[in-house]
Amino acid sequence: MKEDTFRHKGLRARLVEELVAKGITNRAVLAAINAVPRHLFLDSSFVKFAYQDKAFPIGAGQTISQPSTVALQSQLLNVGAGARVLEVGTGSGYQSAVLTEMGINVFSIERQPELFKKTQTFLPSLGYNRLRLFLGDGYEGLPDLAPFDAILVTAGAASLPQKLLVQLKIGAVMVVPIGTSKQVMTRIRRLSDDNFEQETFGECAFVPMLSGVAK
């Protein structure tokens, strides 16, 4: 049942306070997290945990990222309404919904057909119609729709996904967790055609970014 009750809204408001306490300052990000009914993105058995700051299984061996990670990545993109953002790893669609709430035009790629199909009907059912979903390999990006105002990778990349770098506008950033068992949240800015700058934002844990489309 797609219910968003006062109780859910209350739990969300508390989660937003927790994110503020953890250092999230971007108002558009906080407003989006306050607006997206995260409990509807989880399997029903996990609903009561939906507003805790934790990651949870979503099927196909994948997870919905924890809210503080979604908030941090959204904030690090440093873009606002109207921006065109490429997301790698649609997963549950929660991060896509948060970006859409921020007024961002989302292009999101998923390699698991099962998850792709689910979000294709689920996100529009919640009123998120503007975003575009693709079944494909995020390592390839979407060259025909590039360049983007920002790129967000929501799976752990063993090394920097090279083909994505050239799909950034000059001045735009890619936020990507880099590493294998654990990752370092990394932000790469494209300063010119072939000049990039790198910053890091602490350790994180994501499911691995894998090549190719899954069977």
Binding site for ligand SAH (CB under 6 A): 62-65, 88-89, 91-92, 94-95, 109-112, 115, 137-139, 154-155, 207, 209-211
Q: Which is nearer to ligand SAH, 26 or 100 (CB)?
A: 100
CB 128 within 8 A of CB 97: yes
Residue 114: partners with Cβ closer than 8 Å, 6 or more residues away: 59, 60
- Nearest-Å Rg of the Cα atoms of the chain is 16
Q: Output the smallest distance, CB 43 to ligand SAH, in A.
A: 12
Q: Output the smallest distance, CB 113 to ligand SAH, in A.
A: 10
CB 110 within 8 A of CB 91: yes
Q: Output the smallest distance, CB 167 to ligand SAH, in A.
A: 14
Q: Which is nearer to ligand SAH, 84 or 111 (CB)?
A: 111
Q: Is 65 a catalytic residue?
A: yes
Q: Output the smallest distance, CB 202 to ligand SAH, in A.
A: 18
Residue 31: partners with Cβ closer than 8 Å, 6 or more residues away: 101, 102
Q: Which is nearer to ligand SAH, 26 or 154 (CB)?
A: 154
Best CA proximity match to 174, nearest among 157, 152, 158: 152
Three-state DSSP state, 200: strand
What is the C-alpha to C-alpha distance for residues 33 and 67, in angstroms, rounded to an integer?
8
Catalytic residue among 44, 45, 65, 159: 65
Q: Which is nearer to ligand SAH, 94 or 148 (CB)?
A: 94
Residues with active-site annotation? 65
